[in-house]
C-alpha cells in the first residue's frame, strides 16, 4: 500500500487494501509526436477492488536528472507534456478508485522521446558572435543558429553560448578565457563541437566559464576560474574541460557570474566560487574554489545561481533563496542579505525558479508566473518599474510552462507553445523586432512550436 496510507502503525480511515485496484500493466511508453510529449499506453487491471476505477495517474521520471512529469486521465493512453527532448524516462502508472490508489505501480521499460526537429534561435546583441549565426550583427527578431536541427538544451553566458545535441557539446561566441573549451582563445561565430565525446547530459554557462554534467554523473568545467568558479581547487583558467573531483553522482548544475551551484542525485546541494554576499549559502562570505555542501539536507530538487544570489526548490515544492538582497531579490519582504537558505513564503507549489542579475522569477504548479526584486527595466512584468521584495504575479494567466532570465530580461514559453519576453531590450533581445524595453510580456512572432528557452546572460535570448 502507499506509504501515505500506512503511517505510524495506523491505517488511514476508510482505506481498505482489498478494495483498491491492482496496478495497471504498462504496454508501451512512446513519444507523443511533438518531441516533448509522451504517450503512455497500458492495460486496465483485471481486479479493480470494490469500486470502478475513476482515474489513472502516469508519472515519467528523467533517469538522468530525476525530474518528474505527471498527468492524469480516465482511459488509456495518457499524454504527458513538458518532457525534455532526447532524455530518457521511466514511467509508472497508478489506478485510482473511490477507495484509493493501487497499492503498487508497475514501471515500464525506459523510453526516449523522439529527437524531432529542434532548431536553436537567438536574438539580441551580437558583438562577439554570441548569436551563433555566423555574423556580428545584432538581431531584434529570432535568427536560426546554423543548419543543425536536433538540439536538446543549452545555456548562454557573457557573449558566448553552449548547446547539446544528441549528447555532443557545442559552443560559440567569445572565448577570451577559453570558455568555448577548444584549447585556445579563438572566437567562433558559429557552433563548434567541444571535443568528440557523445556523453554530455547538461551544460551551464557562467560569466566566462562552462560547467557540464556527463551521462555517467561526472562533473566537468573550463574557462575562467579567478574566484574558484570552476571548482577545481585553484584559480587557474583552463581552455578545455577538466573533471571536478572523481564523483559520479552529479545531477544538475547552474552557473552565472562567478558562482556555481549543483545538486547531486542524493538531493544534496553544493556551491563554490564567489561568496561575497553569502550567495553560496554556507553561512559566510568566503570564496571557495571547490564544491562545498550547503547544510545537510537531501531534499533539494532545482537550483538557479546568479551573480549575487541564488534560488532553489526542494522536493516538497518549497522555494528558498540566499545571498544579496539589496533590491528584494530574495523575495523575503526585506532587503537584508542572507548567507544561508531562507524560505520564500510558506507555499509548496513552486515548480520552476530562476535568478537574474538583481531579481528572481518562478512558476507555480498552477501555471501562474511570479517575479520580485529589481524592476528598473520592467523585468517584473507588472507594467511599471516598481521594485518588489516579495513575489508578485505576472498577469492572471495559468499557462506558463518554462522560464529563463538574462541580465534584466525574461523569456518564457507557454503551454500552447508560444514564446513571450519582457524587460530590457537595448540589443533586440526581446525578439519583437524592436529595441523597446517592455514592462509587460510581449509575444515573439506567432509560432506555437517553441519548446523551451535557455539560461542566458547579458543582452541575448536563446530558445528552441
Express each pLDDT in 213-263 by its tens digit.
Answer: 998 899 999 999 988 999 999 999 999 999 999 999 998 999 988 899 999
Same domain? For 288 and 342 the reply is yes
Res 116 pLDDT > 80:
no
- Strand ranges inside 44-149, DSSP E: 53-62, 68-73, 78-80, 88-97, 100-101, 106-107, 111-112, 121-124, 139-144
Question: Which DSSP state fits 453?
Answer: B
Q: What number is the average pLDDT over the span 146-174?
A: 89
Q: Please report where in the chains the cell 578565457 appears, as a residue.
A: 177
Contact in structure between 351 and 313 (CB atoms under 8 Å): yes
- Position 161 scores a pLDDT of 95
Res 174 pLDDT > 80:
yes
Same domain? For 57 and 189 the reply is no
Inside any domain, residue 251: yes
Same domain? For 260 and 409 the reply is yes
- Position 1 scores a pLDDT of 29
Res 416 pLDDT > 60:
yes
DSSP reduced 3-state for 250: strand
Same domain? For 274 and 208 the reply is yes
Q: Please report where in the chains the cell 513538458 appears, as a residue.
A: 82
Inside any domain, residue 4: no
Contact in structure between 305 and 339 (CB atoms under 8 Å): no
**Torsion angle (degrees, nearest 10) of CA 222, 228, 233, 237:** 40
Question: Which CATH number is 57's domain given?
Answer: 2.60.40.10
411 vs 98: CA distance, rounded Å:
42
Where is pLDDT greater, at 437 or 101? 437
Query: What is the DSSP secondary-structure string of 266-301?
Result: TS-EEEEE--TTSTT-SSS---EEEEEE-SS-S-EE
Res 133 pLDDT > 50:
yes
For residue 90, the cross-strand partners are 61
Same domain? For 65 and 153 the reply is no
80 vs 57: CA distance, rounded Å:
10
Residue among 206, 408, 158 nearest 307 (CA) = 206
How far is the CA of 361 from the CAs of 57, 314, 342, 400, 463, in angstroms?
29, 16, 16, 12, 18
Res 78 pLDDT > 60:
yes
Same domain? For 194 and 262 the reply is yes
Report the Cα 168 to chain-centroid distance in Å: 19
Q: Count how many residues are written for the chain.
A: 464
Same domain? For 103 and 159 the reply is no
Give the domain extent around 63.
22-112
Lowest mean pLDDT among 16-30, 324-338, 343-357: 16-30
Q: What number is the average pLDDT over the span 50-69?
A: 79
58 vs 463: CA distance, rounded Å:
28
Element (H, E) at 323: strand 319-323
Angle (CA) 184-189-191 rounded to 5° is: 80
Residue among 295, 202, 315, 306 nearest 260 (CA) = 306
Per-residue pLDDT band for 380 (boundaries 50, 70, 90) equals: very high
Q: What number is the average pLDDT over the span 75-96?
A: 76
Res 450 pLDDT > 70:
yes
DSSP reduced 3-state for 3: helix
Res 73 pLDDT > 50:
yes
Q: What number is the average pLDDT over the span 65-93?
A: 75
Same domain? For 107 and 142 the reply is no
Inside any domain, residue 11: no
Inside any domain, residue 450: yes
Contact partners, residue 370, CB within 8 Å, separation at least 6:
361, 362, 363, 364, 391, 392, 393, 394
163 vs 73: CA distance, rounded Å:
35
Inside any domain, residue 438: yes
Residue finishing a domain among 112, 129, 155: 112
Per-residue pLDDT band for 2 (boundaries 50, 70, 90) equals: very low
266 vs 347: CA distance, rounded Å:
24
Q: What number is the average pLDDT over the span 388-412?
A: 94
Same domain? For 294 and 318 the reply is yes
Inside any domain, residue 76: yes
Contact partners, residue 42, CB within 8 Å, separation at least 6:
24, 25, 26, 27, 56, 58, 76, 77, 93
Inside any domain, residue 5: no
pLDDT digits (tens, 9 = 90+) for 280-306: 999 999 999 999 999 999 999 999 999
Same domain? For 332 and 400 the reply is yes
Res 7 pLDDT > 50:
no
Lowest mean pLDDT among 65-74, 356-365, 455-464: 65-74
Q: Please report where in the chains the cell 511508453 appears, as a residue.
A: 29
Mean pLDDT score of the chain, rounded to an integer? 87
For residue 5, the cross-strand partners are none
- Position 335 scores a pLDDT of 98
Residue finishing a domain among 91, 112, 133: 112
Same domain? For 102 and 207 the reply is no
Q: With pLDDT > 90 as the criterion, what percentage of the chain qualifies?
A: 61
**Cβ neighbours, 10 Å, residue 158:** 25
Per-residue pLDDT band for 104 (boundaries 50, 70, 90) equals: low
Burial bucket for residue 204 (CB in 10 Å: 0-12, 13-18, 19+)? buried
Question: Which CATH number is 446's domain given?
Answer: 2.130.10.30
Residue finishing a domain among 112, 137, 159: 112
Inside any domain, residue 361: yes
Contact in structure between 142 and 41 (CB atoms under 8 Å): no
Residue among 370, 434, 446, 450 nearest 405 (CA) = 370
Per-residue pLDDT band for 17 (boundaries 50, 70, 90) equals: low
Contact partners, residue 383, CB within 8 Å, separation at least 6:
439, 440
Residue among 436, 457, 445, 415 nearest 80 (CA) = 415
**Cβ neighbours, 10 Å, residue 203:** 27
Same domain? For 81 and 217 the reply is no
Q: What number is the average pLDDT over the span 162-189?
A: 95
Sign for the pseudo-dihedral over CA of 77, 82, 84, 88: negative
Q: Tell me the whole-structure pTM to 2 decimals.
A: 0.80
Q: What number is the average pLDDT over the span 203-212?
A: 94
| Segment of 50-54, 56-60, 74-78, 277-281 carrying the highest mean pLDDT | 277-281
Number of domains in the chain: 2
Amino acid at each position: 500500500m502507499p506509504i501515505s496510507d500506512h503511517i505510524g502503525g495506523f491505517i488511514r480511515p476508510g482505506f481498505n487494501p482489498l478494495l483498491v485496484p491492482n496496478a495497471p500493466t504498462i504496454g508501451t511508453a512512446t513519444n507523443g509526436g511533438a518531441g516533448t510529449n509522451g504517450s503512455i499506453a497500458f492495460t486496465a487491471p483485471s481486479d479493480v477492488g470494490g469500486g470502478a476505477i475513476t482515474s489513472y495517474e502516469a508519472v515519467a521520471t528523467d533517469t538522468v536528472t530525476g525530474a518528474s512529469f505527471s498527468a492524469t486521465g480516465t482511459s488509456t493512453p495518457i499524454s504527458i507534456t513538458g518532457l525534455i527532448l532526447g532524455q530518457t524516462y521511466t514511467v509508472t502508472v497508478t489506478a485510482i478508485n473511490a477507495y484509493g490508489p493501487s497499492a503498487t505501480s508497475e514501471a515500464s521499460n525506459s523510453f526516449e522521446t523522439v529527437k524531432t526537429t529542434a532548431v536553436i534561435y537567438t536574438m539580441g546583441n551580437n558583438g562577439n558572435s554570441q548569436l551563433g549565426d555566423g555574423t556580428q550583427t545584432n538581431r531584434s527578431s529570432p535568427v536560426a543558429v546554423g543548419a543543425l536541427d536536433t538540439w536538446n538544451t543549452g545555456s548562454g553566458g557573457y557573449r558566448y553560448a553552449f548547446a547539446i545535441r544528441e549528447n555532443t557539446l557545442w559552443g560559440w561566441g567569445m572565448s577570451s578565457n577559453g570558455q568555448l573549451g577548444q584549447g585556445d582563445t579563438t572566437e567562433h561565430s558559429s557552433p563548434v563541437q567541444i571535443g568528440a565525446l557523445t556523453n554530455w547530459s547538461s551544460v551551464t554557462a557562467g560569466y566566462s566559464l562552462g560547467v557540464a554534467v556527463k551521462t555517467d554523473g561526472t562533473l566537468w568545467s573550463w574557462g575562467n576560474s579567478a574566484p574558484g568558479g570552476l571548482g577545481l581547487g585553484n584559480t587557474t583558467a583552463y581552455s578545455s574541460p577538466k573533471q571536478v573531483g572523481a564523483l559520479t553522482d552529479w545531477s544538475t548544475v547552474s552557473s552565472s557570474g562567478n558562482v556555481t551551484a549543483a545538486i547531486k542525485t542524493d538531493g544534496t546541494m553544493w556551491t563554490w566560487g564567489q561568496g561575497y554576499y553569502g550567495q553560496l549559502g554556507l553561512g559566510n562570505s568566503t570564496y571557495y574554489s571547490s564544491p562545498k555542501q550547503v547544510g545537510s539536507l537531501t531534499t533539494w530538487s532545482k537550483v538557479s545561481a546568479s551573480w549575487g544570489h541564488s534560488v532553489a526548490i526542494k522536493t516538497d515544492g518549497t522555494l528558498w533563496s540566499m545571498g544579496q538582497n539589496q533590491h528584494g531579490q530574495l523575495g523575503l519582504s526585506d532587503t537584508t542579505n542572507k548567507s544561508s537558505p531562507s524560505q520564500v513564503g510558506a507555499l509548496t507549489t513552486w515548480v520552476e525558479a530562476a535568478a537574474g542579475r538583481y531579481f528572481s522569477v518562478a512558476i507555480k504548479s498552477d501555471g501562474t508566473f511570479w517575479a520580485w526584486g529589481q524592476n528598473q527595466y520592467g523585468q517584473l512584468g507588472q507594467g511599471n518599474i516598481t521594485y518588489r521584495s516579495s513575489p508578485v504575479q505576472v498577469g492572471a494567466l495559468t499557462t506558463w510552462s518554462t522560464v529563463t532570465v538574462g541580465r534584466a530580461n525574461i523569456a518564457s514559453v507557454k503551454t500552447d507553445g508560444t514564446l513571450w519576453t519582457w524587460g530590457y531590450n537595448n540589443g533586440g533581445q526581446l525578439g519583437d523586432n524592436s529595441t523597446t524595453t517592455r514592462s509587460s510580456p510581449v509575444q515573439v512572432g506567432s509560432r506555437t512550436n517553441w519548446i523551451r528557452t535557455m539560461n542566458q546572460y547579458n543582452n541575448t535570448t536563446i530558445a528552441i
